[in-house]
Amino acid sequence: MAAQLLEGSPVAEAVLADAQARVETMKARGVTPGLGTILVGEDGPSAGYVRKKHETCDRIGIASFHHEVPVDGGQEALLAAVREFNDNPGVDGYIIQHPVPDGFDFGEALALMDPAKDADGLHPTSLGKLVLQEKGPVPCTPAGIQAMLNHYGVTTAGKNLVVVGRGPTLGRPMALLMSNRGAGADAAVTVVHSRVPNLADYTRRADILIGAVGIPNFIQPDMVKPGAVVVSGGITWEGKKLLPDVDESVGEVASWITPRLGGVGPTTVALLLKNTVDAAESRAAL
Ligand code: NAP
């Protein structure tokens, strides 16, 4: 493989070290930040993600809280968990782990969330702030990808950045974030999706190409400009195997590529904890 690897762990560790220092400062003033998670059902990958989030909280001194909503509990049980976290003074930020099983309305639950406690940056108020380029929690996976590009010294200003996918958790906020003004952004962004014919005509122009699709090996070498930086944000679980949007052979064409394991995932968790610390500092008015 010719490309260098965009390993997520060093990026995540840098973000977590900063968050941990801020947690210690808050604790010295008697404030312990808290993160809540709501998990609906027992879907394997989601339960694993939630576990990882709690383990990382423990490691850097954030208190963690959890609600498990049974699949047969219905939407009302999910809304009750949201209300409890809205009212719980120990919880500075929380997430509803998504996707939720069929029969649950994620959008309704999200809309009920106190926007000041939106740790995932997915509440409409947070997304509105992203559009307006105002301070607020940024969705964790896009923010993690931006942190990764920054960590590895990838210039984004003025670069041709193509996002494949326009979903609400990844593609859409990714495009907004990278087209915003400021350091680590300022890119010339194009968004492509399932209704775009001849997709490769767009992706081959990208200096930075971001997969946000959720189809294994969707991005192939002939879709990539030689020397491009290629990030797989989209992932698919096939049983216990994690498959990225970007085919491994793209590594022969790209200058940088995310590895199959340990790419964007660790940065997503780190940015979630950073958002929680931000929320705790705001609430404590530190
Ligand atoms: P989503 O809402 O399902 O969006 C998928 C997007 O892919 C849609 O915009 C869709 O286009 C596009 N697409 C589907 N088939 C396509 C095709 N053949 N050609 C071009 N575009 C196509 O998903 P999401 O919630 O944004 O998440 C996207 C991916 O990110 C998922 O794989 C998810 O697992 C992953 N993700 C990863 C992390 C992480 O920590 N790494 C976190 C969050 C999400 P249309 O809009 O036209 O349908």
What is 193-245 written as a DSSP string? -TT-SSHHHHHTT-SEEEE-S--TT-B-GGGS-TT-EEEE--EEEETTEEEES
At the top level of CATH, which class does the domain 30-115 belong to? Answer: alpha beta
pLDDT number for residue 43: 77
270 band by pLDDT with thresholds 50, 70 and 90: very high
As a whole number, mean pLDDT of residues 187-207 equals 98
Closest residue by Cα to atom 23, ligand 1, is 167
Instruction: Give residue-wise pLDDT tens across range 8-30.
Output: 999 999 999 999 999 999 999 99
Pocket of ligand 1 (CB under 6 A): 141, 164-171, 193-195, 199, 212-215, 233-236, 264-265, 268
Protein residue whose Cα sits closest to atom 37 of ligand 1: 234
Task: Give the Å distance between the CA of 30 and the centre of ligand 1.
Answer: 41
> Do residues 27 and 61 make contact, with C-beta atoms less than 8 angstroms apart?
yes
272 pLDDT exceeds 70?
yes
Q: Give the pLDDT confidence score for residue 198 in this predicted structure.
A: 96
Q: Which of 56, 95, 106, 169 to mutate to test the pocket of ligand 1 (most atoms within 8 A of CB)?
A: 169
Measured in Å, residue 88 CA sits from the centre of ligand 1 at: 33
Pocket test for ligand 1, best of 170, 190, 264 (most atoms within 8 A of CB): 170
- Please, which pLDDT band fits residue 258 given cuts at 50, 70 and 90? very high
Q: Residue 104, Cα to own-chain centre: how many angstroms?
A: 22
The burial class, CB within 10 Å (0-12 / 13-18 / 19+), for 94 is buried
- Looking at residue 64, its pLDDT comes to 97
pLDDT digits (tens, 9 = 90+) for 74-123: 999 999 999 999 999 999 999 999 999 999 999 999 999 999 999 999 99
- How far, in Å, from the CA of 260 to the mean position of ligand 1? 17
The label of the residue with tokens 């029969």 reads: 103
Architecture of domain 140-265: 3-Layer(aba) Sandwich (3.40)
CA of 85 to the centre of ligand 1 (A): 29
Closest CA to 269 of 7, 6, 13: 13
Mutate which of 95, 100, 166 for ligand 1? The one with the most ligand atoms within 8 Å of its CB, which is: 166
CB atoms near residue 284 (< 10 Å): 14
pLDDT tens readout for residues 216-253: 999 999 999 999 999 999 999 998 899 999 999 999 99
Q: Which atom of ligand 1 is nearest to the CA of 232?
A: 41
Task: Give 124-173 pLDDT, tens digit per residue.
Answer: 999 999 999 999 999 999 999 999 999 999 999 999 999 999 999 999 99
* Contact between residue 264 and residue 257 where contact means Cβ atoms under 8 Å apart: no
Give the mean pLDDT of 256-277.
97
**Residue 67 contacts residue 39 (beta carbons within 8 Å):** yes
Does pTM surpass 0.75? yes
79 touches 108 (CB < 8 A): yes
Please give, one letter per residue, the 3-state secondary structure of 85-151: HHHCCCCCEEEECCCCCCCCCHHHHHHHCCHHHECCCCCHHHHHHHHHCCCCCCCHHHHHHHHHHHH
**Which residue intervals of the chain bear CATH 3.40.50.720?**
140-265
Here the tokens at position 158 are 């003025």
Residue 286 has pLDDT above 70, yes or no: no
Parallel/antiparallel/unpaired status of strands 256-257 and 229-232: parallel
Q: How far apart are CA 141 and CA 98, in angstroms?
A: 13
* Size (the chain), residues: 286
Token code pair at residue 102: 């069929």
Residue with tokens 């493989």: 1
Note the pLDDT of residue 42: 83
Q: Which residue has the tokens 């929320």?
A: 279
Numbered ranges of CATH 3.40.50.10860 in the chain: 30-115
Q: Whose CA is nearest to atom 18 of ligand 1?
A: 194
